[in-house]
Amino acid sequence: MKNTVFTGIATALITPMTAEGVDYTQLGRLIDWQIAEGINALVICGTTGEGSTLTDEEHRDVIRYAVERVAGRVPVIAGTGSNDTAYAIDLTRYACEAGADSVLVVSPYYNKATQNGLIRTFETIADASSVPVILYNVPSRTGVNIAPKTVQALAEHPRIAGIKEASGNIAQVAEILALAGDKIDVYSGNDDEIVPTLALGGKGCISVLSNPLPRQTVEICDRFFAGDVAGAAALQLKYLPLIRALFSEVNPIPAKAAMAAMGFGEDYLRLPLTPMEESNRRVLLDELRRLGVATV
């Protein structure tokens, strides 16, 4: 097995923003709080971090800022994927130079690819990386699924170390682990599948839930790894209403609303994302209050 980037929970961190740009004061507060709460790793500039609407300069600055702020306390995983492979390579090289511990590379969206195209694309990006690469499979956003046999082929690359599996298909998670579980780490990309993924041999989750609940989400994994499977499952079910609320609209709309309600910056998103519908917001805030974490 290659070196594992992290075990447990990595928060797919929001990027606090205002109309003027990235709010680094709030981003720094959020990073420090997440680490104090016991998070196992942080993903910067991913889907939840609105990496797709950050300018190139902002994307690079946020990665460098996060690496410097974290200062080695937990692994920093930088989102560097793109539908433009040349750009993904440039951004990956930058993240490596900036000191990121790993990069998260989403499959090409919009223009898509065949499975052979995916293999060539990911291998080319991994060839350019000096740190471990975590693949990101999210076909609901990209329009293409990374098939288990494709993951098996990619697992042979010395720097492709993991996959964030967000297909929502637990049978596919099982097949990946059956085919390549000894060569690639599998992380759930869905908060409602943390315990099922761990039960199949996964290493953890790249999580949205852990934005508002880092300590509690980590506890799911801690209980499971300590042998308390029933306790882990009970927590998974306890937080299911909040998970549903966090995905009642496209991510990261609800996550931004949740973190604003907890005092971490403004509820500000960049188009095409818009603020949460009030009916859904009420449900989300009610859940946060029920769990004792909302400040409004």
Q: Which residues contact 116 (CB under 8 A, 6 or more apart)?
A: none
Per domain, the residue ranges of the chain are 8-226
Residue with tokens 């990069």: 103
Which residue ranges in the chain fall short of pLDDT 50? none
Catalogue the active-site residues.
Answer: 136, 164
List b or e across 102-134, with b for residues whose CB sees 16 or more CB atoms inside 10 angstroms: bbbbbbbbeeebeeebbbebbbebbebbebbbb
Q: Considering the entire predicted model, what is its pTM?
A: 0.96
Kindly give the pairing relationship between strand 8-12 and strand 41-44.
parallel
Q: Which of 274, 296, 275, 277 is nearest to 285 (CA)?
A: 296
| pLDDT on residue 1 | 57
| pLDDT on residue 295 | 67
CB neighbourhood size of 39 (10 A): 25
| pLDDT on residue 2 | 72
CATH of domain 8-226: 3.20.20.70
| pLDDT on residue 3 | 86
CB neighbourhood size of 289 (10 A): 13
Q: How far apart are the first and last CA of the chain?
A: 46
